[in-house]
């Protein structure tokens, strides 16, 4: 039942309110550290790990907000992935690391530019692999399972609460209610 | 107490800390620069984003500049305190202050002799006048090659030579602070090595400021001797007008204590049968506790809680480490917060300006505010916790030497040296510094001290470390039996009995406020001189396991500069630069003997310090303890380039 109703829902997304974002990049640091396999900020920095955030704070035309994977329903990234590593799954688009070969096709077709394919281990130049695999927002699935956190790392870290996890059903419901309230106000004294 | 504040919906430091989570990663690693108006500039610690500030500063420059600024601020704080005391002494010498006098003539003579001030056949007022002028010269001298008087007359010769060779001896405290600000200005010193050398020099100016502040306070108010006291919130009394003194400078609090007895009857008339009860908070508390046995209500982090007992009539604050939240908390109770320093006011507090010329008069005026406020108490809200802990305090260097002299009057340091040589005492650890909301209050202190005392390391403490140990029951004879290893217990028992304490000396010796870290320097200097070695050879280490303030950064840095392995339990904002991290750890060790150890885990930190003690013992050819498997450090630093040196050797 649950799975069925889940299937009919859209994927969850991260909503960013540009009016609240201070451009502090805290969400990027939190994202990078939450995917650092148990390192905290200090140990990751001390060990000089080249961590990648999966979100990107963007500033254009006086507006600042983080961008990350929109968990598209008809995702071009899943369509082009030659190995099937990038695919739709329960409530999100996921990239299975073991299957990814780092070909960057998904990064090229993503309209939002939110996939990176850089390695998080220092390459020594002689190895057979660069360890580079596609990385994008995974809605902190593993991290949340490990830490029991309800919110994602970026949402938790934002000092102004500019970002939140949004369930589209709830988002639409809130929009409908807000508009209905306005309509009721506007038409209260009109009888046709 | 936290239950009371929680029930009343009052936010304390712990709530505010929680509200601040998570804290900014750039600031935490030292990679945010706000030095000029082109900023703030941030360096991406993971290498994806910007690697240079707008001006071109790299991570190393940014981290080093901000670190040096912290040291300069800490130095400014201690040295301003010192200047205040030196000026008071000058004015006593000029017969301008009638509420102050020399309380320790012997110390006056000792200090004067050390600083080359003639005493033979001179009036006391002439001696103190000249002593004050020589001291104030350390704030005025413009000859770069003439080092400050206090430091150059206080450290062992080999250390002075080393510092002089490296160009690290400060010539003028104020100039060092100004130079630190100037070299860290946008577009100035950008080389991390040179910046850190400047930081070491300003930190040594801090040591100079601490030395003069401590020693001249002893001259004016008396050198502490062992005395019994009590600590924790239970020192507040239901039937007394409770007055807390909070801050750092003894100039006002000493007078408050003096005049409190005069106003006893007024307090009784106001309905408080037990009169006035003065209690200390933070380092003002330590100063009074050391000299007079005045009870200590609490140390830094819980300074808001005495208010929540509903039984505190007034909290008198002066300078440093005073939480600006106090008036907000006090507004929920009847307590009056009284600021007294022109340069340290807080919105919502009552300001009563303190002037040394009218010290007693102002002290009386302040105490009358407290007495008058007694009637505003709400008896239903009084909730004084039972917790109260006995503590033997007052171990100034002179106090320790006097206790040792009861064992060997001719050569007081001999029993200590002999026991270090035999291994009954493995070494000495100085615990200093603050509380920090990032760490469960006092936890690191107690964990580490117990771990080291068990391994026969003698523990001395200053500042809020002392407060932690006093509250935690580590300043009693019973604690020696409970926590010390056999060798240390034997020594402390022998000295305690010879000194007529009726039991062992406590395992933790209270050496004073945070400004009194200079007392610990005097002790290690005496030990080094006795053995004819440098401080960096001694099995002596330092630790600030709950460091918080900029003063702690200054103290920690000079501790490294004089040759002590120095532990920090909070990660300073330097991790963003492996170069700076390398400079204050490995490079410092190679060139100064002292170095920082950053380790948040108190058990691992105790092990690291014990290892550092063993390394020193081995260096002196003394017996060492059997090795044990090393715990892996919490942070491993991976340098990006070969370890730099402070100066090309
Ligand atoms: S943490 Fe919040 S305010 Fe800061 S950049 Fe991210 S979304 Fe913006
Ligand atoms: S990676 Fe890009 S294309 Fe793929 S789901 Fe996310 S936003 Fe859509
Ligand atoms: S939800 Fe997690 S993975 Fe996605 S951007 Fe935020 S922190 Fe990164
Ligand atoms: S000094 Fe340089 S790094 Fe610092 S804020 Fe100015 S431009 Fe940025």
* Joined tokens for residue B417: 């040296």
Express as a percent the part of chain B with pLDDT over 70. 100
Distance (Å, whole) CA B414 – CA B428 = 15
Length of chain B: 649
Inter-chain CB proximity B25 and A159 less than 8 Å? no
Compute the half-sphere exposure of residue B70: CA atoms within 13 Å on the CB side of its CA: 22
Does the Cβ of A26 fall within 6 Å of ligand 1? yes
Please give the pLDDT value at position B508.
97
Residue B260's φ and ψ, nearest 5 degrees, are: -55, -40
> Which of A42, A47, A53 would best serve as a mutation to test chain B binding (most B beta carbons within 10 A)?
A42
Chain centre distance of CA A4: 24
Express as a percent the part of chain B with pLDDT over 90. 93
Contacts of B634 in chain A (CB under 8 A): 43
Tell me what the mean pLDDT of segment B622-649 comes to: 80
Distance (Å, whole) CA B510 – CA B493 = 17
CA B274 to centroid of ligand 1, rounded, Å: 57
Contacts of A25 in chain B (CB under 8 A): 26, 42, 44, 49
Chain centre distance of CA B636: 29
Task: Give residue-wise pLDDT tens across range B595-626.
Answer: 999 999 999 999 999 999 999 999 999 999 88
Q: How crowded is residue A177: how many other Cβ atoms within 10 Å of its Cβ?
A: 10
Angle at B177 between CA B176 and CA B183, to 5 degrees: 80
Pocket mutation for ligand 1, best pick of A21, A68, A164 (most atoms within 8 Å of C-beta): A21
8 A C-beta contact, residue B283 and residue B320: yes
* Joined tokens for residue B507: 């395992």
Chain centre distance of CA B338: 23
Pocket mutation for ligand 4, best pick of B31, B42, B53 (most atoms within 8 Å of C-beta): B53
Of residues A5 and B519, the one with the higher pLDDT is B519
Which chain A residue shows the shortest CA-CA distance from B573? A42
With cut-offs at 50, 70 and 90, classify the pLDDT of residue B137. very high
* Joined tokens for residue B162: 């080393």
Inter-chain CB proximity B48 and A53 less than 8 Å? yes
Instruction: Give the residue from B226, B343, B352, B353 showing the smallest Cα distance to B289.
Output: B226
With cut-offs at 50, 70 and 90, classify the pLDDT of residue B223. very high
User: What is the nearest CA distance from A67 to chain B, expressed in angstroms?
Assistant: 15
Handedness of CA B225, B441, B385, B239 (dihedral sign): positive
Atom of ligand 2 nearest to the CA of A78: 4
Using left for φ > 0, alpha for ψ between -120 and 50, and beta otherwise, residue B476 falls in: beta
Instruction: Give the residue from B526, B590, B512, B591 showing the smallest Cα distance to B555.
Output: B512
Task: Give residue-wise pLDDT tens across range A1-25.
Answer: 344 455 578 898 999 999 999 999 9
Between A64-73, B5-14, B73-82, B272-281, the lowest mean confidence (pLDDT) is in B5-14
Strands B41-42 and B241-247: unpaired
Cα dihedral value B497, B521, B441, A161, nearest 10 = 180
Tell me what the mean pLDDT of segment B71-96 comes to: 96
Instruction: Give the residue from A36, A34, A62 showing the smallest Cα distance to A49.
Output: A36
Does the Cβ of A51 fall within 6 Å of ligand 1? no
Please give the pLDDT value at position B648.
66
Distance (Å, whole) CA B359 – CA A19 = 55
Handedness of CA B384, B386, B390, B393 (dihedral sign): negative
Inter-chain CB proximity B25 and A41 less than 8 Å? yes
Across chain B, mean pLDDT equals 95
Is residue B26 less than 8 Å (CB to CB) from chain A?
A: yes
Compute the half-sphere exposure of residue B562: CA atoms within 13 Å on the CB side of its CA: 32
Contacts for A6 with CB less than 8 Å, ≥ 6 apart: A90, A91
Task: Give residue-wise pLDDT tens across range A166-185.
Answer: 989 989 999 999 999 999 98
Task: Give residue-wise pLDDT tens across range B21-55.
Answer: 889 999 999 999 999 999 999 999 998 889 999 99
Distance (Å, whole) CA B483 – CA B507 = 8
SS3 B345: coil
8 A C-beta contact, residue B485 and residue B452: no
Is residue B23 less than 8 Å (CB to CB) from chain A?
A: no
Contacts of A50 in chain B (CB under 8 A): 46-48
Distance (Å, whole) CA B144 – CA B290 = 37
Task: Give residue-wise pLDDT tens across range B234-247.
Answer: 999 999 999 999 99
Is residue B485 less than 8 Å (CB to CB) from chain A?
A: no
Q: Cis (ω within 30 of 0) for the bond into B80?
A: no
CA A48 to centroid of ligand 2, rounded, Å: 29
Task: Give residue-wise pLDDT tens across range A23-82.
Answer: 999 999 999 999 998 899 999 999 888 899 999 999 999 889 999 999 999 999 999 999
8 A C-beta contact, residue B87 and residue B348: no
Contacts for A161 with CB less than 8 Å, ≥ 6 apart: A20
8 A C-beta contact, residue B207 and residue B562: yes
Compute the half-sphere exposure of residue B6: CA atoms within 13 Å on the CB side of its CA: 5
Please give the pLDDT value at position A131.
84
Q: Which one of A25, A43, A159 has the shortest CB-CB distance to B635?
A: A43
With cut-offs at 50, 70 and 90, classify the pLDDT of residue B643. low
Distance (Å, whole) CA B611 – CA B609 = 5
State which H helix or E strand residue A179 sits in: helix A168-187
Does the Cβ of A75 fall within 6 Å of ligand 2? yes
Is residue B534 less than 8 Å (CB to CB) from chain A?
A: no
CA B26 to centroid of ligand 2, rounded, Å: 29
Atom of ligand 2 nearest to the CA of A113: 2
Q: Which one of A41, A118, A156 has the shortest CB-CB distance to B29?
A: A41
Contacts for B20 with CB less than 8 Å, ≥ 6 apart: none
Contacts for B113 with CB less than 8 Å, ≥ 6 apart: B119
Task: Give residue-wise pLDDT tens across range B409-419.
Answer: 999 999 999 99
Does the Cβ of A63 fall within 6 Å of ligand 1? no
Alpha helices in B394-461 (DSSP H): 397-405, 414-422, 443-454
Please give the pLDDT value at position B443.
97
Distance (Å, whole) CA B55 – CA B65 = 14
Please give the pLDDT value at position A7.
54
Inter-chain CB proximity A42 and B575 less than 8 Å? yes
Please give the pLDDT value at position B94.
96
Q: Which one of A45, A47, A50 has the shortest CB-CB distance to B29?
A: A45
Does the Cβ of B57 fall within 6 Å of ligand 4? yes
Q: How many helices (H) and strands (E) does chain B have?
A: 27, 16
Tell me B341's DSSP state: B
Alpha helices in A122-167 (DSSP H): 141-147, 153-157
With cut-offs at 50, 70 and 90, classify the pLDDT of residue A123. low
User: What is the nearest CA distance from B583 to chain A, expressed in angstroms?
Assistant: 14
SS3 B276: strand
Q: Give burial (CB, 10 Å; 0-12/13-18/19+) of B266.
A: middle
Please give the pLDDT value at position B477.
95
Please give the pLDDT value at position B500.
86
* Joined tokens for residue B136: 């104030």
Contacts of B597 in chain A (CB under 8 A): none
pLDDT at residue A125 above 80?
Answer: no
Residue B46's φ and ψ, nearest 5 degrees, are: -100, 0
Is residue B343 less than 8 Å (CB to CB) from chain A?
A: no
Distance (Å, whole) CA A125 – CA A138 = 29
Does the Cβ of A66 fall within 6 Å of ligand 1? yes
Please give the pLDDT value at position A2.
43
Distance (Å, whole) CA A33 – CA A140 = 11
Contacts of B46 in chain A (CB under 8 A): 32, 44-45, 49-53
Q: How crowded is residue B94: how many other Cβ atoms within 10 Å of its Cβ?
A: 12
Alpha helices in A35-152 (DSSP H): 41-46, 76-80, 105-109, 141-147
8 A C-beta contact, residue B541 and residue B612: yes
Q: Cis (ω within 30 of 0) for the bond into B40?
A: yes
8 A C-beta contact, residue B333 and residue B406: no
What is the complex's ipTM, to 2 decimals?
0.81
Does the Cβ of A13 fall within 6 Å of ligand 2? no
pLDDT at residue A95 above 50?
Answer: yes
Tell me what the mean pLDDT of segment B176-204 comes to: 97
Distance (Å, whole) CA B39 – CA B320 = 29
Q: What are the DSSP E strand ranges found in A8-150?
A: 13-16, 56-60, 63-67, 86-89, 92-95
CA B201 to centroid of ligand 4, rounded, Å: 24
Which chain A residue shows the shortest CA-CA distance from B633? A43
8 A C-beta contact, residue A139 and residue A153: no
Is residue B46 less than 8 Å (CB to CB) from chain A?
A: yes
Instruction: Give the residue from B465, B468, B625, B617 showing the smallest Cα distance to B541.
Output: B617
Q: Which one of A25, A29, A46 has the shortest CB-CB distance to B575?
A: A46
């Amino acid at each position: 039942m649950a799975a069925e109703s889940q299937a009919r829902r859209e994927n969850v997304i991260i909503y960013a309110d540009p009016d609240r974002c201070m451009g502090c990049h805290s969400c990027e640091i939190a994202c990078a550290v939450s995917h650092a396999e148990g390192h905290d900020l200090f140990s990751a920095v001390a060990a000089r790990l080249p961590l990648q955030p999966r979100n990107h704070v963007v500033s254009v035309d006086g507006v600042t907000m983080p961008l990350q994977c929109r968990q598209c329903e008809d995702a071009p990234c899943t369509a082009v992935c030659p190995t099937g590593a990038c695919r739709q799954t329960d409530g999100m688009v996921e990239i299975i690391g073991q299957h990814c070969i780092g070909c960057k096709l998904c990064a090229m077709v993503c309209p939002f530019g939110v996939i990176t394919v850089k390695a998080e281990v220092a390459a020594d130049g002689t190895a057979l692999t660069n360890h580079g695999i596609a990385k994008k927002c995974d809605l902190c699935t593993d991290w949340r399972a490990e830490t029991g956190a309800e919110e994602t790392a970026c949402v938790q870290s934002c000092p102004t609460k500019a970002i939140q996890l949004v369930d589209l059903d709830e988002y639409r419901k809130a929009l409908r209610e807000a508009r209905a309230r306005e309509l009721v106000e506007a038409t209260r004294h009109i009888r046709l | 107490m936290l239950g009371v504040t929680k029930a009343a919906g009052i936010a304390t430091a712990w709530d505010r800390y929680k509200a601040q989570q998570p804290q900014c990663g750039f600031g935490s690693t030292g990679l945010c620069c706000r030095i000029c108006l082109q900023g703030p500039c941030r360096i991406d610690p993971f290498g994806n984003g910007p690697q240079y500030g707008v001006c071109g500063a790299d991570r190393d420059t940014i981290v080093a500049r901000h670190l040096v600024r912290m040291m300069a601020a800490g130095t400014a704080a201690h040295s301003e305190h010192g200047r205040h005391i030196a000026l008071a002494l000058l004015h006593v010498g000029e017969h301008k202050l009638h509420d102050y006098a020399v309380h320790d003539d012997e110390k006056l003579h000792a200090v004067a002799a050390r600083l080359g001030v003639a005493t033979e056949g001179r009036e006391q007022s002439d001696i103190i006048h000249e002593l004050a002028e020589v001291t104030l010269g350390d704030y005025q001298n413009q000859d770069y090659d003439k080092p400050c008087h206090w430091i150059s007359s206080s450290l062992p010769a080999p250390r002075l030579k080393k510092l002089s060779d490296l160009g690290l001896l400060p010539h003028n405290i104020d100039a060092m602070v100004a130079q630190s600000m100037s070299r860290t200005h946008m577009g100035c010193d950008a080389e991390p090595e040179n910046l850190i050398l400047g930081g070491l020099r300003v930190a040594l100016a801090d040591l100079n400021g601490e030395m003069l502040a401590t020693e001249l306070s002893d001259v004016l108010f008396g050198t502490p001797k062992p005395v019994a006291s009590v600590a924790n919130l239970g020192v507040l009394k239901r039937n007394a007008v409770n007055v807390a003194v909070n801050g750092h400078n003894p100039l006002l609090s000493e007078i408050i204590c003096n005049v409190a007895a005069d106003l006893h009857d007024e307090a009784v008339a106001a309905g408080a049968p037990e009169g006035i009860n003065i209690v200390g908070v933070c380092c003002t508390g330590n100063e009074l506790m050391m000299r007079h046995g005045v009870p200590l209500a609490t140390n830094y982090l819980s300074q808001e809680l005495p208010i929540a007992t509903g039984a505190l009539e007034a909290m008198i604050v002066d300078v440093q480490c005073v939480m600006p939240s106090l008036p907000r908390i006090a507004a929920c109770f009847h307590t009056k917060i009284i600021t007294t320093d022109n340069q340290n006011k807080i919105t919502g507090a009552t300001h009563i300006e303190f002037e040394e010329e009218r010290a007693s008069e102002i002290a009386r005026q302040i105490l009358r505010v407290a007495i008058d406020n007694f009637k505003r108490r709400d008896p239903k809200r009084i909730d004084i916790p039972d917790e109260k802990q006995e503590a033997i305090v007052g171990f100034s260097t002179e106090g320790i030497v006097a206790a040792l002299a009861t064992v060997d009057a001719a050569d007081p340091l001999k029993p200590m040296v002999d026991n270090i040589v035999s291994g009954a005492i493995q070494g000495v650890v100085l615990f200093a510094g603050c509380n920090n909301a990032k760490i469960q209050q006092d936890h690191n202190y107690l964990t580490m001290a117990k771990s080291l005392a068990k391994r026969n390391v003698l523990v001395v403490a200053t500042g809020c470390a002392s407060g932690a140990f006093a509250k935690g029951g580590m300043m009693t004879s019973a604690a020696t039996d409970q926590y010390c290893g056999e060798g240390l217990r034997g020594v402390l028992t022998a000295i305690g009995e010879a000194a007529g304490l009726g039991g062992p000396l406590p395992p933790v010796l209270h050496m004073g406020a945070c400004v009194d870290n200079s007392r610990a320097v005097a002790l290690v200097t005496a030990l080094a001189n006795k053995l004819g070695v440098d401080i960096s050879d001694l099995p002596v280490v330092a630790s600030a396991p709950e460091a918080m303030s900029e003063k702690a950064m200054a103290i920690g840095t000079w501790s490294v500069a004089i040759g002590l392995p120095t532990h920090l339990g909070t990660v300073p904002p330097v991790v963003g630069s492996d170069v700076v991290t390398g400079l204050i750890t490995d490079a410092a060790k190679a060139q100064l003997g002292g170095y920082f150890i950053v380790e948040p885990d108190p058990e691992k930190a105790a092990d690291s310090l014990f290892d550092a003690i063993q390394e020193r013992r081995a260096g002196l050819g003394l017996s060492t303890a059997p090795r044990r498997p090393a715990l892996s450090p919490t942070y491993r630093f991976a340098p990006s380039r070969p370890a730099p040196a402070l100066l090309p050797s």
